[in-house]
Copies of this chain bind each other. A is one copy, B any other.
């Protein structure tokens, strides 16, 4: 608690104490090679003694580099965005960058524009936008900004550089898993149409069915929430005994609602109906029964996004601007084991 209001020491102050010029202090701080060891020691000692810290504003002004990146996101309390945010910050910090975040309630042109303005005022060199809604992707493409922007989760259609998890692949893995377990067909509870991820998951599900010559049932639609899953689950329960034995739900939270509705309707999971989710949120393993789901590698998304953005900032030609896709992974648990134990996985 020694944040006295005294003017903090400047490089010139340190230089005076060390008996050198301010430029030599700058060289020591910048790890310049041509500084005599004795001089360096003197300077470091003076820095230590005065508790000197380089003024970032002055530095940024002189170098024209703020070493700050911005992140725009909505729904940051959800597991996916929160994980991505975490990975982004960690990756950026490893590269010596600071991250400024703007969390929106809704991601539309207006709020997005304000967010970019705010970040721009803050002097960011580039921005990562978590823009899973298609409207957000379109808004991004429209907006003018004086810095590069990388989108996360916009899918392949986007006109800006993007990093994604391969949602279609994930959906094919989930659906294929159910087909391989002997189910004749797989029903689908989709996410909101406006979300690219939801669309891609539906596309993957459909293509997996069509690949084995099965006509896909009409998908139901939810809004990601457990409540919407619960309602869809009630509807699905009505189809049990009429060809419904397996459901691919577009996310784990809705799957939670589906599980509850099925249970209440007297439908057993997985004996009567097998359920697969998507996301692998930490709770999924403890659902009743534990949920088979698709895990996304958010850490990889974060790292690739940062490295792509830095390529853009540095003017390097990025490796794959056309859209980077990261492979998801199927996690099999009891909700798709007709005869397996209800417990036991990952306990011990």
| B98 lies within 8 A of A3 (CB) | no
Question: Distance in Å from the Cβ of A254 to the closest Cβ of chain B?
Answer: 10
B residues less than 8 Å from A57 (CB atoms): 57-58, 60-61, 66, 123
Question: Distance in Å from the Cβ of A31 to the closest Cβ of chain B?
Answer: 15
Cα A144 to Cα B2 with chains together (Å): 7
Question: Distance in Å from the Cβ of A207 to the closest Cβ of chain B?
Answer: 30
| B121 lies within 8 A of A53 (CB) | yes
| A82 lies within 8 A of B77 (CB) | yes
B residues less than 8 Å from A122 (CB atoms): 56, 68, 98
Cα A53 to Cα B147 with chains together (Å): 12
Residues of A134-149 contacting chain B, CB below 8 A: 144-148
The reply on A185 being an interface residue by CB < 8 A is no
| B86 lies within 8 A of A103 (CB) | yes
B residues less than 8 Å from A322 (CB atoms): none
On chain A, the number of residues with a Cβ less than 8 Å from chain B's Cβ atoms is 66
**Which residue of chain B lies nearest to A227 when distances are taken between CB atoms in the complex?**
B347
| A98 lies within 8 A of B118 (CB) | yes
The reply on A223 being an interface residue by CB < 8 A is no
Cα A253 to Cα B286 with chains together (Å): 9
B residues less than 8 Å from A98 (CB atoms): 100, 118-119, 121-122
Contact with B along A73-95 (1 / 0, CB 8 A): 00011010011011001100100
Cα A8 to Cα B83 with chains together (Å): 35
Question: Distance in Å from the Cβ of A316 to the closest Cβ of chain B?
Answer: 13
| B342 lies within 8 A of A264 (CB) | yes
| A230 lies within 8 A of B3 (CB) | no
**Which residue of chain B lies nearest to A87 when distances are taken between CB atoms in the complex?**
B103
**Which residue of chain B lies nearest to A159 when distances are taken between CB atoms in the complex?**
B1
| B123 lies within 8 A of A286 (CB) | no
The reply on A241 being an interface residue by CB < 8 A is no
Residues of A88-145 contacting chain B, CB below 8 A: 89-90, 93, 98-103, 118-123, 144-145
**Which residue of chain B lies nearest to A5 when distances are taken between CB atoms in the complex?**
B315
Most buried by B among A54, A85, A229: A85
Q: Given known contacts A2-B146, A60-B57, A286-B226, is B77 in contact with A103 (CB within 8 Å)?
A: no
**A to B CB contacts below 8 Å, 11 in the list:** A2-B145, A3-B146, A55-B123, A61-B61, A76-B82, A89-B101, A226-B286, A227-B285, A227-B346, A256-B283, A264-B343
